[in-house]
C-alpha cells in the first residue's frame, strides 16, 4: 500500500512550522497552568521544611522538661581503677570517702581433666553415657530433688555437654565454659554460695567406672565466692556484688580494686550545669533557625524592583500567625513562684527587635544556682482549677480542670497545631496542595489534548487548501492549453 502524500505547504506556503507558531500562540494558558503548578510545589516544599524545623524545635523544648537536663550530675574519682561511680538525677552533690578491703567474687567449680577428651577437639565425641545433676545455692530446680539434670549421650562432645548446661543457666543461675579440656561452672551471683553435684558421671555417682569422669562432686574442686567488703565515710558494709546501688541514694558504686590501707578513694558528685546550658542553647539555636526560615518564606522583597523575588509563602496568613505567636511566647511572663524568674529574659534568653534570640549563659547559670525549681516552673507548669457543677439530679460536684501554663508547654502546644500528622495545619495544607496539583495536572492534560486536536484540524484544513490550490492550478493549466490549441 502506497504511503499517503502530504501537500502541506506546497502551494499555500503554510507548513508545519507555521502551524507550530499558531499552536504556540494559543498555548498561553498552558504556561499559566505550569507556573501555577510550580508555585504550588514551591509552597508545599516550603511548608515541608517548616514542619521539619518545627518538629526539631518541639523536641528540643521537650528536652528542657527532662529531669536529666536540670538534675544531671558530673562525677569524679581520685582513682577510677579502684572505685568508679555513676550518679542518678536524685543523687545529692557531695564527696564520699570509700575504702575497699575485699572484692566480691562468684563461686566456681572446676572439673578434672576429662580423660576421654585428651587428644580430641572439644567437638569430638567423648564416648560417655550417663548423667549428672547440679543443685544451685537456692536448692531450687525443676528436676531431680530440686536439681538440674544433664543427660550425656555417647555421641556428645565436650562442647555439647557445656551447651546443655548453658541451656538451663537461665533457671539454674550457673554458666559453663571449657578451659584446657576442663569444664568450669560459674555461679551468676556473687558471694559465699555453693553448688552440689551428683549423678553417674560425677564423684558419688552410681556407676563406678565413670565415677570421677567429670570430677565434680567434692568441695576440693570448688572455689567458693566471697562478698565485697567496703567502708563509705567510715561505715563498713558487705555486699554480694561489686556494683553497689543501695549504699548511697542515687549513686552506683563500682568496685574495681582494693584500696591501700588508710588511703581511701575520694569520689565527688557535682551539679552538671553544662548539660543544662547546652540544652537551652540548642533550643535558642533551633528557634532562630526556624524563625529565619519563616521570615525568608514571608519576604515580599522590593515590590518596586524589576523581577522582584518573593518568598514562597509571602502573604500566607497561617505562617504569619505562627511567626507572631512564637515571638510573643518568647517574651511572655509566667508565675513561677519567684518574681525574679518569670520570663525567659530573667534567665538570660533575650530577643532583639528583629526576633533573634540570644543566650547569656552566665545569667542562666546564676538563675539555676539560685532557684532551679522556679526556672523549670516558668517553662513547665500545670495549674488546676476546681469548678462547682450541679448534675441532673441537683447534686453538686466539683470538676477539676488542668491547664498547662508554662512557656515551653504553650510553645509546644502551638507547634503541635501545625505539625500534628492528622489534624495539623501543615498536613491539611499539604493535602490541599496535592489536590490542587492533581486538578492542574488534569487541566494540563485536557488542554494538551485540545491543542493536539487543534493541530490535527490545522493540518487537515491547510492540507485541503493545498490540495484545492493544486487542483485549481491544474485546471488553469488545462484551460490555457485549450486556448493555445484554438489559436
At 283-336, the pLDDT tens digits run 999 999 999 999 999 999 888 888 788 999 999 999 999 999 999 999 999 999
Mean of pLDDT values over 200-204: 62
Cell of 384: 488546676
DSSP structure string for 89-132: TTPPS-EEEEEEEE---EEEEE----GGGTTS-TTSB----EEE
At 414-450, the pLDDT tens digits run 999 999 988 899 999 999 999 998 888 887 888 777 8
Q: Are 254 and 243 in contact (CB under 8 A)?
A: yes
Residue 42 lies in a domain: no
DSSP structure string for 130-184: EEEEEE-TT---SSGGG-EEEEE-TT-BHHHHHHHHHHTHHHH-EEEEEETTEEE
Cell of 44: 508545599
Residue of 272, 268, 271, 270 whose CA lies nearest to 95:
268
Residue 439 lies in a domain: no
Cα–Cα separations (whole angstroms), residue 196 to 29, 148, 222? 93, 10, 10
Q: Which helix (H) or strand (E) holds 188?
A: strand 182-190
Q: The domain containing residue 318 runs over which residues?
A: 50-66+274-301+309-406
Cell of 334: 509566667
**According to the model, what pLDDT value does residue 207 have?**
38
Same domain, 116 and 199: yes
Same domain, 148 and 178: yes
Distance CA 280, CA 287 (A): 11
Same domain, 191 and 293: no
**According to the model, what pLDDT value does residue 3 have?**
46
Distance CA 32, CA 40 (A): 12
At 250-279, the pLDDT tens digits run 999 999 999 999 899 999 999 888 999 999
Mean of pLDDT values over 225-243: 97
Instruction: Please count the CA atoms within 13 angstroms of the CA of 256 that sit on its side-chain side.
Output: 12
* pLDDT of 35 higher than 90: no
DSSP state of 3: P
Lowest mean per-residue pLDDT among 25-39, 86-100, 189-203, 279-293: 25-39
Task: Decide which of 237 and 443 is more confident.
Answer: 237
Distance CA 451, CA 448 (A): 5
Mean of pLDDT values over 106-130: 84
Same domain, 240 and 152: no
Residue 99 lies in a domain: yes
* pLDDT of 36 higher than 80: yes
Domain count of the fold of the chain: 3
C-alpha 5, offset from chain centre: 69
9-18, 183-192, 451-460, range with greatest mean pLDDT: 183-192
Of 195, 223, 251, which one is at a domain's C-terminal end?
223
* pLDDT of 220 higher than 90: no
Of 406, 428, 459, which one is at a domain's C-terminal end?
406
The pLDDT confidence band at residue 7, using thresholds 50, 70 and 90, is low
Other beta carbons less than 10 A from residue 19's beta carbon: 20
Same domain, 352 and 279: yes
| Helix/strand/coil for 323 | helix
**According to the model, what pLDDT value does residue 329 have?**
95
Paired sense of beta strands 95-102 and 265-271, if any:
antiparallel
Looking at every residue in the chain, the average pLDDT score rounds to 86
Mean of pLDDT values over 100-115: 89
Same domain, 198 and 243: no
Same domain, 112 and 219: yes
Instruction: Please count the CA atoms within 13 angstroms of the CA of 105 that sit on its side-chain side.
Output: 12
Judged on CB neighbours under 10 Å (0-12, 13-18, 19+), 356 is middle
Same domain, 255 and 136: no
**According to the model, what pLDDT value does residue 181 have?**
83
* pLDDT of 56 higher than 60: yes
Helices (H), 223-311: 273-298
Helices (H), 260-406: 273-298, 317-330, 361-370, 372-379
Counting every residue written for the chain, the total comes to 487
Same domain, 188 and 145: yes
Residue 459 lies in a domain: no
Distance CA 42, CA 203 (A): 83
DSSP state of 198: E
In 355-455, the DSSP E strands lie at 357-359, 382-390, 396-404
Residue 87 lies in a domain: yes
| Helix/strand/coil for 16 | helix
**According to the model, what pLDDT value does residue 1 have?**
42
Same domain, 346 and 258: no
Same domain, 243 and 287: no
Cell of 167: 541451656
**According to the model, what pLDDT value does residue 208 have?**
34
Distance CA 222, CA 206 (A): 21
Cell of 206: 552410681
* pLDDT of 486 higher than 60: no
Paired sense of beta strands 106-110 and 182-190, if any:
antiparallel
Task: Decide which of 226 and 31 is more confident.
Answer: 226
**According to the model, what pLDDT value does residue 211 have?**
35
Residue 248 lies in a domain: yes
Residue 442 lies in a domain: no
pTM: 0.67
Same domain, 290 and 389: yes
**What CATH number is associated with residue 183?**
3.30.70
**According to the model, what pLDDT value does residue 226 have?**
97
The residue behind cell 560417655 is 128
Q: Are 145 and 135 in contact (CB under 8 A)?
A: yes
Residue of 209, 204, 183, 185 whose CA lies nearest to 128:
209
**According to the model, what pLDDT value does residue 180 have?**
85
The end-to-end CA distance of the chain, in Å, is: 44
**By percentage, how much of the chain surpasses pLDDT 90?**
51
114-118, 216-220, 317-321, 399-403, range with greatest mean pLDDT: 317-321
Judged on CB neighbours under 10 Å (0-12, 13-18, 19+), 142 is exposed
Of 223, 247, 262, which one is at a domain's C-terminal end?
223
Residue 370 lies in a domain: yes
Amino acid at each position: 500500500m502506497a504511503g499517503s502524500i502530504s501537500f502541506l505547504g506546497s502551494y499555500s506556503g503554510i507548513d508545519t512550522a507555521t502551524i507550530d507558531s499558531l499552536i504556540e500562540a494559543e498555548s498561553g494558558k498552558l504556561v499559566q497552568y505550569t507556573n501555577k503548578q510550580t508555585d504550588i510545589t514551591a509552597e508545599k516544599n516550603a511548608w515541608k521544611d517548616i514542619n521539619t524545623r518545627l518538629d526539631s524545635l518541639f523536641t528540643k523544648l521537650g528536652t528542657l522538661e527532662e529531669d536529666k537536663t536540670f538534675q544531671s550530675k558530673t562525677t569524679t574519682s581520685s582513682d577510677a581503677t579502684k572505685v568508679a561511680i555513676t550518679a542518678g538525677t536524685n543523687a545529692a552533690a557531695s564527696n564520699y570517702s570509700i575504702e575497699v578491703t575485699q572484692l566480691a567474687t562468684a563461686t566456681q567449680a572446676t572439673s578434672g581433666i576429662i580423660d576421654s577428651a585428651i587428644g580430641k577437639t572439644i567437638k569430638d565425641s567423648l564416648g560417655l553415657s550417663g548423667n549428672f545433676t547440679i543443685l544451685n545455692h537456692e536448692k531450687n530446680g525443676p528436676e531431680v530433688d530440686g536439681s538440674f539434670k544433664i543427660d550425656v549421650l555417647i555421641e556428645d562432645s565436650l562442647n555439647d555437654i557445656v551447651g546443655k548446661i548453658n541451656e538451663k543457666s537461665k533457671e539454674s543461675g550457673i554458666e559453663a565454659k571449657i578451659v584446657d579440656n576442663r569444664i568450669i561452672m560459674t555461679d551468676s551471683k556473687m558471694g559465699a554460695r555453693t553448688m552440689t553435684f551428683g549423678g553417674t558421671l560425677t564423684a558419688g555417682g552410681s556407676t563406678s567406672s565413670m565415677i570421677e569422669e567429670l570430677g565434680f562432686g567434692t568441695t576440693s574442686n570448688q572455689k567458693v565466692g566471697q562478698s565485697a567488703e567496703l567502708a563509705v565515710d567510715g561505715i563498713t558494709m558487705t555486699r554480694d556484688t561489686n556494683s553497689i546501688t543501695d549504699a548511697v541514694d542515687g549513686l552506683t558504686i563500682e568496685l574495681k580494686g582494693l584500696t591501700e590501707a588508710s588511703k581511701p578513694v575520694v569520689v565527688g558528685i557535682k551539679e552538671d550545669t553544662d548539660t543544662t546550658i547546652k540544652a537551652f542553647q540548642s533550643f535558642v539555636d533551633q528557634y532562630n533557625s526556624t524563625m529565619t526560615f519563616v521570615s525568608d518564606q514571608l519576604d515580599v522583597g522590593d515590590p518596586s524592583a524589576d523581577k522582584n523575588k518573593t518568598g514562597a509563602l509571602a502573604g500566607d496568613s497561617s505562617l504569619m500567625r505562627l511567626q507572631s505567636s512564637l515571638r510573643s511566647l518568647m517574651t511572655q511572663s509566667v508565675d513561677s513562684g519567684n518574681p525574679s524568674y518569670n520570663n525567659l529574659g530573667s534567665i538570660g534568653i533575650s530577643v532583639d527587635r528583629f526576633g533573634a534570640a540570644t543566650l547569656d549563659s552566665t545569667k542562666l547559670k546564676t538563675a539555676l544556682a539560685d532557684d532551679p525549681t522556679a526556672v523549670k516552673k516558668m517553662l513547665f507548669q500545670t495549674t488546676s482549677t476546681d469548678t462547682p457543677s450541679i448534675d441532673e439530679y441537683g447534686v453538686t460536684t466539683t470538676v477539676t480542670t488542668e491547664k498547662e501554663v508554662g512557656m515551653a508547654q504553650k510553645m509546644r502546644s502551638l507547634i503541635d497545631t501545625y505539625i500534628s500528622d492528622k489534624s495539623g495545619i501543615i498536613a491539611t495544607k499539604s493535602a490541599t496542595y496535592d489536590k490542587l496539583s492533581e486538578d492542574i495536572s488534569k487541566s494540563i492534560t485536557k488542554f494538551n489534548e485540545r491543542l493536539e486536536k487543534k493541530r490535527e484540524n490545522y493540518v487537515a484544513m491547510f492540507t485541503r487548501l493545498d490540495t484545492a490550490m493544486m487542483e485549481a492550478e491544474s485546471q488553469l493549466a488545462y484551460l490555457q492549453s485549450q486556448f493555445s490549441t484554438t489559436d
